[in-house]
């Protein structure tokens, strides 16, 4: 079996999600070695008990990739392993990237200049119009539009990008053998024809509720920033904004009427410090002030790490293999890693040893109020800081 086929086999093992897969690869060095792991070896990995180890060892040996290979060929889909040149460099740079992607169409280096557009499935005419305008103007300015192929805002953004002759990437929760929602099958064909369909889910697996939050981290990971257009207070688009904050991406929000339930989530993001945007020009102007990340060095690093991991002896596990990984399950809810803070976030967090007013923090740290608001919003989305009445903040 080739290396890619070994990774496909791991992807097909029930209950073996991205983080546990990464732990196995760290422990055993290669996908081929992981497939031969015994229960006694598996139980040494954190978060794998004896019962799971026994079941997992049996499942690793029983996996059959024949039907999966047939589906890949039938639907024109190719598997892309983390560390390979085809793997999207921006996604490789985020914490815990998917070990394996399924791709239909082409991801290009130019797609690193991408903006994600997400929002309500049951959008209003106002939301649909804004999604179309922003997507159209972004692709005309040379950006790629990333979204989730869902009904409402997502579909409007994809269609507008295609109509303007631009590139768009759709990230799906389920497998590519059957597009969800089914009424977007033709749209998926159009996206794949000029852009790319991406998922981390095996071909025949139907989307389950717990897969959508995991899908959202890929949308934000592929993007320089996320634009939220119409999101209610419990919208999944807010999960994408949370992932964006964790990954160091910008969060933009389009305002709506203050009494509109459809925009309640957007308005809350704006209160927390998301960048208010009215059109694509606002997004482009803000991103011009933020240098596009050079993901090439990180991509090279990921490739080197993958090579070194595959070359490592199975008897020589790295320290803390699988640390921070919850027990993954494709059928269960997605469990993000414990939040990590970048230097700016850590500095603000450290300054909040006691409850502080935002203006006091800005003076003490010597940062602009707007920049502080952005960092505080990221900390709020990571659930390590909370905002109090009167513009005071404290640690959670």
- CATH number corresponding to 89-288: 3.40.50.450
Nearest to 13 by CA among 73, 99, 139, 103: 99
Question: What is the C-alpha separation between 207 and 204, in angstroms, rounded?
Answer: 10
Q: What whole-number percentage of the chain has pLDDT above 90?
A: 52
Higher pLDDT, 290 or 194: 194
Per-residue pLDDT band for 14 (boundaries 50, 70, 90) equals: confident
- How far from each other are the two terminal CA atoms of the chain, in whole angstroms? 49
| Whole-angstrom distance, CA of residue 274 vs CA of residue 269 | 5
Specify the DSSP class assigned to residue 183: G
With contact defined as beta carbons under 8 Å apart, do 291 and 391 qualify? no
289 — pLDDT class (breaks 50, 70, 90):
low
Nearest-angstrom CA–CA distance, 249 and 223: 7
Q: Which of 58-67, 152-161, 355-364 has the lowest mean pLDDT?
A: 355-364
E strand or H helix that includes residue 237: helix 237-246
Task: Please check whether residue 192 is in contact with residue 184, taking contact to mean a CB–CB distance below 8 angstroms.
Answer: no
Strand, coil or helix: what is 331? coil
Q: Sheet with 250-254: list strands edge to edge.
A: 78-81, 100-105, 196-199, 168-171, 144-147, 114-119, 225-229, 250-254, 275-276
Q: How many whole angstroms separate alpha carbon 46 and alpha carbon 34?
A: 15
Q: Which CATH architecture has domain 3-64?
A: Orthogonal Bundle (1.10)
Q: Which pLDDT value is given to residue 325?
A: 30
pLDDT at position 296:
47
What SS3 state is found at 309? helix
pLDDT tens-digit profile of 111-122?
999 999 999 999
- CA R_g for the chain: 21
pTM: 0.78
Six-digit token string for 37: 């792991």
Least confident window among 62-66, 83-87, 131-135, 359-363:
359-363
Query: Please, are residues 326 and 47 in contact by the beta-carbon 8 Å criterion?
Result: yes
- Other CB atoms closer than 10 Å to residue 256's CB: what's the count? 22
CA distances from 281 to 117, 208, 226, 288 (A): 15, 36, 15, 10
Query: If you ran DSSP here, which 8-state letter would residue 292 be given?
Result: P
Write the CA distances from 33 to 46, 56, 303, integer angstroms. Answer: 18, 14, 19
CA contacts within 13 A on the Cβ side of 385? 30
Are residues 46 and 266 in contact, defined by beta-carbon separation less than 8 angstroms? no
Q: Evaluate whether 175 touches 202 at the Cβ level (below 8 Å).
A: yes
Condensed to tens digits (0 to 9), the pLDDT of residues 319-361 reads 333 323 333 333 333 344 556 788 888 888 888 888 888 888 8
Q: Which fold has domain 343-395?
A: Arc Repressor Mutant, subunit A (1.10.10)
Helices (H), 141-206: 153-163, 185-194
Helix (H) or strand (E) holding 394: strand 392-395
- Domain ranges in the chain? 3-64, 89-288, 343-395
List, edge to edge, every strand of the sheet that includes 385-388. Answer: 356-357, 392-395, 385-388
CB atoms within 10 A of CB 52: 17
DSSP string, 243-269: HHHHTT-EEEEE---TT-GGGHHHHHH
């Amino acid at each position: 079996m080739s290396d890619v086929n070994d990774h496909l086999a791991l992807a097909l093992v029930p209950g073996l999600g991205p983080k546990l897969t990464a732990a196995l690869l760290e422990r055993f060095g290669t996908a081929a070695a992981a497939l031969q792991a015994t229960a006694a070896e598996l139980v040494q990995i954190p978060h794998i008990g004896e019962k799971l180890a026994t079941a997992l060892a049996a499942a690793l040996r029983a996996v059959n990739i024949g039907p999966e290979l047939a589906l890949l060929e039938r639907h024109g889909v190719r598997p892309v392993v983390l560390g390979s040149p085809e793997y999207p460099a921006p996604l490789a740079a985020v914490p815990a990237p998917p070990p394996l992607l399924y791709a239909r169409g082409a991801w290009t280096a130019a797609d690193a200049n991408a903006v994600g557009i997400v929002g309500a499935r049951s959008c209003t005419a106002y939301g649909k119009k804004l999604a179309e305008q922003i997507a159209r103007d972004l692709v005309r300015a040379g950006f790629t539009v990333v979204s989730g192929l869902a009904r409402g805002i997502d579909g409007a953004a994809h269609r507008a990008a295609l109509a303007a002759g631009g590139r768009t990437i759709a990230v799906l929760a389920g497998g590519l053998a059957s597009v969800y929602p089914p009424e977007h099958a033709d749209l998926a064909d159009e996206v794949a024809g000029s852009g790319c369909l991406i998922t981390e889910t095996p071909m025949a697996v139907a989307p389950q509720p717990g897969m959508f939050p995991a899908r959202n981290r890929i949308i934000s990971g592929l993007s320089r920033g996320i634009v939220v257009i119409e999101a209610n207070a419990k919208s999944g688009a807010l999960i994408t904004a949370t992932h964006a904050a964790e990954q160091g991406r910008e969060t933009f929000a389009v305002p709506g009427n203050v009494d509109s339930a459809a925009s309640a989530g957007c308005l809350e993001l704006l209160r927390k410090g998301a960048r208010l945007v009215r059109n694509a020009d606002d997004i482009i102007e803000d991103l011009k002030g933020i240098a596009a990340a050079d993901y090439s060095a990180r991509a090279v690093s990921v490739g080197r790490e993958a090579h070194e991991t595959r070359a490592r002896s199975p008897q020589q596990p790295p320290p803390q293999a699988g640390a921070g990984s919850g027990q993954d399950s494709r059928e269960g809810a997605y469990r993000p890693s414990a939040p990590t803070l970048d230097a700016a976030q850590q500095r603000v967090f450290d300054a909040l040893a006691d409850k502080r007013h935002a203006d006091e923090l800005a003076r003490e740290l010597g940062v602009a109020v707007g920049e502080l608001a952005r960092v505080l919003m990221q900390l709020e989305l990571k659930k390590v800081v909370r905002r109090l009445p009167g513009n005071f903040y404290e640690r959670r």
